[in-house]
Structure 1
Amino acid sequence: MTDSLIIPRRFNGPPDSGNGGYVSGRLAVRLGDTAEGVTVVLRNPPPLDTPLQVVSEEERLRLYDGERLLAEAMPGKVEASPIPAVPYETAVAAAAGYPGKDGDTPFARCFVCGPAREDGLGLTPGPVDAHTVATPWTPDASLEMGPEIVCAALDCPGGWSTDLLARPSLLGTMTVRVTALPEAGERCVVLGRLLRRDGRKAFAASTAYGEDGRLLGQADQIWIEFTPR
Structure 2
Amino acid sequence: MTTAALQTVLTVPERFRGPAAVANGGWIAGTMADALNGHRSAVEVTLHAPTPLDTEVRLEHVANTVTLTDGDKLLVEAFPVAEDLEAPDFVPFTDAARAEAGFPGWHGHAFPECFVCGLREPGDGLRIFPGPVEGTGLVAAGWRVPFTVADEDGVPASIVGAALDCVTGWAHFAPGESALLGRLAVQIHRRVYPGGTYSVVGEATGRDGRKLFGRSAIYENDGALVASARATWIAPR
TM > 0.5:
yes
Percent identity reads 36
Q: Deviations over 1:51-85 (max 9, x none)?
A: 10012221111111111111101112456522111
Distance 1:24 1:182 in 2: 16
1:168 to 2:178 alignment:
yes
Deviation, structure 1 residue 35: 4.3
User: What is the match of residue 217 of structure 1?
Assistant: 227
**CA gap 1:77/1:219 in 2 versus in 1, 3 angstroms:** farther
Deviation, structure 1 residue 159: 0.8
Q: How many residues align?
A: 226
Deviation, structure 1 residue 137: 0.1
Q: Deviations over 1:137-190 (max 9, x none)?
A: 010111111111111100011110011546421110011101112222211000
Distance 1:23 1:81 in 2: 21
- C-alpha contact (below 8 Å) 1:139/1:183 kept by paired residues: yes
- C-alpha contact (below 8 Å) 2:110/2:177 kept by paired residues: no
1:86 to 84, 91, 115: 91
TM-score by length of 2: 0.90
1:133 to 2:139 alignment:
yes
1:115 to 108, 119, 123: 119
Runs of 4+ in structure 1 over 4 Å off: 77-80
- C-alpha contact (below 8 Å) 1:29/1:147 kept by paired residues: yes
- Letter matched to residue 116 of structure 2: V
Where does the alignment leave 5 or more consecutive residues of structure 2 unmatched? none
1:60 to 2:70 alignment:
no
Where does the alignment leave 5 or more consecutive residues of structure 1 unmatched? none
Identify the range of structure 1 (77-86 vs 59-68) with the bigger mean alpha-carbon deviation.
Answer: 77-86
User: What is the match of residue 45 of structure 1?
Assistant: 50
Q: What is the RMSD of the two structures over their aligned residues, measured on CA atoms?
A: 1.7
SS at match of 1:70: strand
Q: Deviations over 1:86-132 (max 9, x none)?
A: 11111111100000024x32210100000144410010100015632
